[in-house]
Structure 1
Amino acid sequence: MTLLHTVVAFLVALALLVVVHELGHYLVARWCGVKVLRFSVGMGKIVYSRKIGPDQTEWALSALPFGGYVKMLDAREQDISAIPPEDLKREFTRQSVWKRIAIVAAGPLANFLLAIAVFAGLYNYGIPEPAARLRAVPEKTSAYEAGLRGGELVTSVNGEAVKIWTDLRWKVMQLALEGEPAKLGVQRTDEGAGSTSETVSIRLDGLTTADLEGDFLAKLGIDMARPKAVLGKIVPDGPAMHAGLREGDVIHAVDGRPVLDGLAFVEIVRASPGKSIRIDGERAGGPFTLAVAPESYEHNGQTIGRIKAEVPLAPEMVVARESLLPALGKAVGKTWDTSVLTLKMLGKMLIGEVSWKNITGPITIADYAGQTARIGIISYLTFIAFISISLGVMNLLPIPVLDGGLLLYYSLELLTGRAIPERIGELAQRAGVGILMTLMAVAVFNDIIRLMS
């Protein structure tokens, strides 16, 4: 069922993205007066089609689900000798270069508009996300040197408001790519002293581009706050019950070492299979000390410890909700920032600063589609928005056979006043196909490596 769920989630996302992209081409082509012969979802052999409208446009489903196309009346692809004169005026190559640019650019633009619409809808609806509150900060890290200790709530990054953890991570990543310091506006809550606000500056020049591919915030000493180590449900006949632990127990220390929060306690237990550990805690306002031996358990090829007791780890949650116009503005900004970041990462990939292992193909995308769909509709829609942006950016790259390659041709035509010679166009198309096939081979190879590991 998990595989089926993943396949369905992937095909739904892919179909939506393809339809939106091709609808962009189709609608602008019709607006510019170009005759559209076929609108296909999928490539290859047509398995179903139906002709609709005054132009009898063929709406088709094709065998291969990866992609789609809009086929227009085009003298380069078909014999137009028998075409009526009124239809010749609607042939693609007879249109002005500005109309051709508009038609080609409409596909990627539609992908960006889809992302903006999805983000705006989510921001307006309200997204429950972890608050940007910090966990205890390790010593000898950039965050510790900046004066952060843990428990602070981050309210802004370089003057831009922050409400949720993903906003914090996103803004710090952008600054790290630019090599600029992150100025965090934080709120501290001190018992008896109330809440105070201040700004701390964290240097990011110690981060490498390779660090950004992983948990770069942890390298800075920044992590998401977790609740205290308070035990939840105790499983009958488990190590926790036999040791005398009870629901509601607060864990303060293990083997004399302070326990920062629930996650720290879980990590200690996991690292102690078959080993007795001494727990100091609090129960009903009074202290207690007892020993428990986590049982050994095989998980993903590793032996870990467990005591069969629930430890709530859910962070503090907030709902980030905006009214319609601010949500739309925030969505436009998010789409723009994501597009720029994608281009920067591609550029760093070309000069070797970012590993080519980051190129993902259909297998990884399908896996993410399934994972986000299982988490919930908000995660799934967010995934679709990000993939739509990636599709828009990739199609605008100046590679022949992509929309960006055609836009490059037409831009040169504007500058020179002449169309690109047909022979040069053919050679460029072959080179473009070679580039795309190479990228696809790298992506599939990376997908297989991820799957095996």
Structure 2
Amino acid sequence: MSAWLLHAGAFALMLGVLIVVHELGHYSAARLLGVKVLRFSVGFGRGIWSRRFGRDGTEWVIGVFPLGGYVKMLDEEEACVLPEELARSFNRQSVWRRVAIVLAGPCANLLLAVLLYWGLFFYGVEEFKPILARPAIQTAAFAAGVENGDRVIKVGGVPVLSWQEFHWELLRQAVKGDVVELETVGLATVVSIRRLLDVSAARGNGLEGDFIERLGLAPYRPEVPAVVGAIGKGSPAEVAGLLPGDRILAIGGLEIAAWSDAVNVVRNSPGKRLNVDIERQGARRQLVIEPAVVPGTGGSIGRIGAAVAEDSQVRDLLMVKISYGAVGSVAKAIQETWEKSIFSVVMIGKMLTGEVSWRNISGPVTIADYAGQSAKLGLTKYVAFLALVSVSLGVLNLLPVPVLDGGHLLYYSVEIVRGKPLSERSREIGQRIGLAILAMLMTLAFYNDINRLIPG
């Protein structure tokens, strides 16, 4: 499967699951409270597929434009309603029932995130340990005294077991202040050392992009032999004839002593034809490989689609499997969903005040790219990304912006206070404002997507 098909398929599946779950939340609440549902649509515009099911003959539709969906309920404000069905009309329900129906959509997305995280934590997720490489001079990590092989055990007093947990907790702490305390231990010692990491440079840049890399933090990479393991189908390595078990001896005349040497040469040679000397079954051979050009931090990098052969000792040193059991995973999943929800709200607030860059907003192109990348890394990575986007979708829909679920909840809150609904004119103005805000956000998201595709 070509790369773009994988990315498109992963994105379409993710979008379909999230939209269906969200709209099922609205649909289920409406049915439970006795409101008649006329249409359940995944996507907007002309339907490319439709069927009618159920006692009420609800029309189930797939629209031509897949970025969203809706549940259309019986409502006097949209069409005439037969006298015998007035009690099942949405507008005739109490304000609290309408709140419950609207709230059910975002809650369904958050519940989905909890279920997905529960499955991940119960099954067990294999992650890289938070072991740091030697930082470059004149970086925040170097100034903090980070040494090669330091394993982070706490960030701001919070224990971390994996690189992902370390990355997440450091980002969360960096939003709060300019200095974050890291507690580390060396590879050959159990004595912990507290290091004060100045994150002000990353904060000053609005936490844009890979802020960890700008701080001088990178995963520890032990020196391992340059022996080839898995090779991607259709990759430059496969096209050139590289095979698993081949040992790379030299690239472009440069001697290769370890896998990291090979990676560095390839990364710095995007699109260049390289003479690669290998050892295969005791014989020396030469291949010609042209690394693919892929976007990277600060410009394009080369990639040939080959992985290093696994070494059990190195794997044990670098990897950890995290599992919390059936019961413990419930609490951990709820905690994970809650923390990411709160963090999303905090980040939105920081964007409004200018403390966090608006370039952090991603559009469908970037999300599709991340979906494809996570799918390449395996099912657990894809499920984790799906859970994260589900949290984001749930929080986004709760924002008090007209046309979003949160906008309707805002109207109902005003109705509860006033004792009567807002006028039709007020709601119409609100709809226009909401559409304008969404249009600006979508334009900004697409602009950021284009900027990411065109480095520099």
**Shared topology, TM-score over 0.5?**
yes
For 2:397 and 2:103, locate their aligned partners in 1 and report how far apart those are by CA, in whole Å.
9
For 1:135 and 1:237, locate their aligned partners in 2 and report how far apart those are by CA, in whole Å.
25
Counterpart check, 1:435 vs 2:430:
no
For 2:342 and 2:247, locate their aligned partners in 1 and report how far apart those are by CA, in whole Å.
55
Alpha carbons of structure 1 residues 447 and 205: separation in structure 2 relative to 1, 3 Å: closer
For 1:58 and 1:325, locate their aligned partners in 2 and report how far apart those are by CA, in whole Å.
40
Give the secondary structure class of the aligned counterpart of 2:66: strand
Give CA deviations for 1:266-287 in whole Å, capped at 9, x if unaligned: 4368659999xxxxxxxxxxxx
Structure 2: 5+ residue runs without aligned partners? 229-241, 275-286
Moved more, 387-396 or 337-346: 337-346
Equivalences, count: 418
Alpha carbons of structure 1 residues 446 and 219: separation in structure 2 relative to 1, 3 Å: closer
Give CA deviations for 1:321-361 in whole Å, capped at 9, x if unaligned: 11123222222222222222222322333333333333222
> Does the CA-based 8 Å contact 2:226-2:248 persist in structure 1?
no
Give CA deviations for 1:123-155 in whole Å, capped at 9, x if unaligned: 111111111111123444443444431212222
Q: Following TM superposition, by how much is the alpha carbon of 1:306 offset from its aligned partner in structure 2, in angstroms?
A: 11
Runs (4 or more) in structure 1 with deviation over 4 Å come to 233-239, 241-245, 268-275, 294-299, 301-307, 309-315
Moved more, 147-156 or 317-326: 147-156
- Matched letter for residue 88 of structure 1: L
Q: Following TM superposition, by how much is the alpha carbon of 1:451 offset from its aligned partner in structure 2, in angstroms?
A: 3.3
Counterpart check, 1:263 vs 2:273:
no
For 2:30 and 2:37, locate their aligned partners in 1 and report how far apart those are by CA, in whole Å.
7
2:319 pairs, out of 311, 317, 320, with 317
- Matched letter for residue 300 of structure 1: V
For 2:451 and 2:431, locate their aligned partners in 1 and report how far apart those are by CA, in whole Å.
30
Moved more, 119-128 or 298-307: 298-307
Alpha carbons of structure 1 residues 379 and 189: separation in structure 2 relative to 1, 3 Å: closer
1:120 pairs, out of 114, 118, 121, with 118
For 2:104 and 2:326, locate their aligned partners in 1 and report how far apart those are by CA, in whole Å.
25
> Does the CA-based 8 Å contact 1:295-1:306 persist in structure 2?
no
Give the secondary structure class of the aligned counterpart of 1:100: helix
- Matched letter for residue 30 of structure 1: R
Q: Residue 370 of structure 2 corresponds to which residue in structure 1?
A: 368
2:379 pairs, out of 370, 377, 382, with 377
Q: Residue 280 of structure 1 corresponds to which residue in structure 2?
A: none
Within 5 Å, give how 1:418-429 maps onto structure 2. Answer: 418-429=420-431
> Does the CA-based 8 Å contact 2:73-2:89 persist in structure 1?
yes
Within 5 Å, give how 1:89-108 maps onto structure 2. Answer: 89-108=87-106
For 2:153 and 2:8, locate their aligned partners in 1 and report how far apart those are by CA, in whole Å.
39
> Does the CA-based 8 Å contact 1:297-1:304 persist in structure 2?
no
Structure 1: 5+ residue runs without aligned partners? 252-261, 276-293
Give CA deviations for 1:44-75 in whole Å, capped at 9, x if unaligned: 22333333222222222222222111111111
1:348 pairs, out of 333, 342, 350, with 350
Within 5 Å, give how 1:16-415 maps onto structure 2. Answer: 16-80=17-81, 82-84=82-84, 87-179=85-177, 181-190=179-188, 195-210=190-205, 212-232=207-227, 240=250, 262-263=259-260, 266-267=263-264, 299-300=292-293, 316-415=318-417
For 2:93 and 2:301, locate their aligned partners in 1 and report how far apart those are by CA, in whole Å.
67
Alpha carbons of structure 1 residues 120 and 180: separation in structure 2 relative to 1, 3 Å: farther
- Matched letter for residue 137 of structure 1: P
Give CA deviations for 1:173-222 in whole Å, capped at 9, x if unaligned: 111110063232322243xxx53234333333443252622332233332
Q: Pick the structure with greater CA Rg.
A: 1
Alpha carbons of structure 1 residues 227 and 60: separation in structure 2 relative to 1, 3 Å: same
Give CA deviations for 1:222-270 in whole Å, capped at 9, x if unaligned: 221111153325988986299797xxx956xxxxxxxxxx536743686
Alpha carbons of structure 1 residues 129 and 209: separation in structure 2 relative to 1, 3 Å: farther
For 2:266 and 2:175, locate their aligned partners in 1 and report how far apart those are by CA, in whole Å.
37
Alpha carbons of structure 1 residues 250 and 332: separation in structure 2 relative to 1, 3 Å: same
TM-score (norm 2): 0.81
> Does the CA-based 8 Å contact 2:38-2:59 persist in structure 1?
yes
For 1:354 and 1:211, locate their aligned partners in 2 and report how far apart those are by CA, in whole Å.
4
Give the secondary structure class of the aligned counterpart of 1:148: coil
Alpha carbons of structure 1 residues 242 and 434: separation in structure 2 relative to 1, 3 Å: closer
